Amino acid sequence: DGGITQSPKYLFRKEGQNVTLSCEQNLNHDAMYWYRQDPGQGLRLIYYSQIVNDFQKGDIAEGYSVSREKKESFPLTVTSAQKNPTAFYLCASSGTSGAASYNEQFFGPGTRLTVL
């Protein structure tokens, strides 16, 4: 089955620790995205990548880092510099063709991060 997987589903972190969230897709999509969702709010873009070895900061990149060494993988590291990291993290992927339908973003199941 094609899709996006994220792991772990739940993650607990102590203050001052870096943690890495995994995102893998087998949809052959070029573009991948990381979003953060806080209770009662919409999705805010952290980082995005349209091609291997290239990525761009989104609206709330401070305290986060990413890499894109493989087309299928786009891991997100939440660093100790992120002041309020407790949130629901969503990874998405999409095609990059000009057709509107190819801009549909498919989402993984999410990782819920809690800082203790």
Partner 1 sequence: QKEVEQNSGPLSVPEGAIASLNCTYSDRGSQSFFWYRQYSGKSPELIMFIYSNGDKEDGRFTAQLNKASQYVSLLIRDSQPSDSATYLCAVRYLTGGYNKLIFGAGTRLAVHP
Which positions lie near partner 1, rule CB under 8 A?
A: 31, 35, 40-45, 48, 50, 56, 58, 90, 94, 96, 100-101, 103-110
Which residue, 17 or 97, has its beta carbon nearer to partner 1?
97
Which residue, 19 or 55, has its beta carbon nearer to partner 1?
55
Neighbours of 38 (CB within 10 A): 12
Which residue, 85 or 108, has its beta carbon nearer to partner 1?
108
Edge-to-edge strand ranges of the sheet holding 19-25: 4-7, 19-25, 76-78, 64-66
And the tokens for 50? 């349209």
